Amino acid sequence: MRKLKEVSNCCKIIYLIILIIASNLILCDEMEKKGREIYIIAQKYRFIPDVIELYRGENIQLNILAEDVEHGFCCKELGIYLELPAGEEVIYEFTPDKVGEFEFYCCVYCGIGHKNMKGKFIVKESDKNK
Ligand SMILES: [Cu+2]
């Protein structure tokens, strides 16, 4: 009887360990999907940072905040067109699918320096893809 109880306790422990490993795997998977977070500030008349390095095939989550007035965040080549209401963080997920340098710019008129409000993505080939 005692042995049987020990075996059943042992089973419970193994079951628990499997559960913990499985839930960690699911969590890791979720994190992978969420992508690398990049925080960008938009303000008259610049983006901070204005040069952003990415890897092709990497999941990215942009968190962009227009600090002062409404701005836009657009990158034609990567198909990004966002309006950024003042004081509201905008979250955008994407996966760059090509290598190169791609300009992003403010696409909502925000004042006299609007035309100069730009930066660039530098998308590199990932080691994983080589
Ligand atoms: Cu603007």
pLDDT in tens, 19-56: 555 665 555 455 556 789 999 999 999 999 999 999 99
Kindly report the pTM of this predicted structure: 0.74
Cα of 37 vs centre of ligand 1, distance in Å, is 23
Q: Is 21 within 8 Å of 78 (Cβ atoms)?
A: no
| Overall CATH class of domain 35-129 | mainly beta
Domain ranges of the chain: 1-34, 35-129
pLDDT at 128: 74
Cα of 96 vs centre of ligand 1, distance in Å, is 24
Cα of 111 vs centre of ligand 1, distance in Å, is 6
**Which protein residues have a CB closer than 5 Å to ligand 1 (ion)?**
106, 110, 114, 117
Rounded distance, CA 38 to CA 49, Å? 10
